[in-house]
Amino acid sequence: MRRIALVTALNLAAGCTALAGEELSGHVDKAAVRNIEVILAEDNLDQFGPSLPEASMVAQIVKNLAEWNYPVQRPGKEGFSHTLKAQLGRITHQGTPTGFSFNMGNSDPRAQEFQKADVLTIRCSLTSNKNPHEQVMSATEFSANPIKRLVGKPEAREQLVQSLIDHISSACYNLLDDLELDQSSSPDAPAAAAGGSVKKPRWMPAVRIEVQNEPEPASNKTGENAKGNPQTTEEPRKKVIIQNQGTPVILKFGYERM
């Protein structure tokens, strides 16, 4: 599955969350990825209040990714082939990222706040422990408005931590998914049920974006026109499926031609 850079505002359990991704940069030997250590950088964690439970957050992130059968483990063990590092940026007030955007910012193009939003950028990197120059990175941007409403409220502390866990898990999932790793077994992956089938993951990333080429209509296949000249084939149509933990939203690009 390949993703494209896309921005959308979707009503999820945690609130209205915008998500945008960028293409992977860098290179790693995918065949060498065997055992991944997951770590959370301490940068900018102070903006969410004191004493975030970092160890338990990493443990839950590992569990979320392992449910998708990625070979991830929490820190503290030895023999890791790669390190998956998540780093949170400062929340900034900026323009919404390029792409699709719904219900984000002021709708009046003459207003100072036109298409502005508080944005939290989460960067994930996967680095080879044997060859540190082998590294891939990606960044995912989330609307920070739902999170900012929870900061400083003791009664909402658990909800804040869970929102951060889901955002970080989604950002790291995007990197692993774009890298198209072979999803080999993980110690924390869901066990196979009777008959060899694997249990469906309980955790879902905030947004999964799948792009498919639709089958070409029979009328568009290469042939000869009325003058006997070869008829060119139309460009394949794209179908974008946004899995948003609810009913999928399907966007089709191109026009119907019967």
Q: Which pLDDT does position 44 carry in this prediction?
A: 92
- Express as a percent the part of the chain with pLDDT over 70: 56
Choose between 120 and 199: higher pLDDT. Answer: 120
d(CA 231, CA 218): 13
- Is pLDDT above 50 for 13? no
pLDDT category of residue 2 using cuts at 50, 70 and 90: very low
Q: Which pLDDT does position 54 carry in this prediction?
A: 94
Which candidate, 46, 82, 74, places its Cα nearest to that of 164?
Answer: 46
Averaged pLDDT score across all residues of the chain: 74
CA dihedral 188, 190, 194, 200 (to 10 degrees): 180
Amino acid at 246: G
The pTM is what? 0.70
Q: What tens digit of pLDDT does each residue of 57-105 get? A: 999 999 999 999 999 988 877 789 999 999 999 998 766 554 444 444 4
Please state, in angstroms and as integers, the Cα–Cα distance from residue 97 to each residue in 35, 81, 117, following that order.
Answer: 33, 34, 10
Q: Which pLDDT does position 95 carry in this prediction?
A: 62
Q: Which pLDDT does position 250 carry in this prediction?
A: 60
Mean pLDDT of the 114-132 span = 86
Q: What tens digit of pLDDT does each residue of 147-177 get? A: 999 998 999 999 999 999 999 999 999 899 9
For 168, counting Cβ atoms within 10 Å of its Cβ (0-12 exposed, 13-18 middle, 19+ buried), the class is: buried
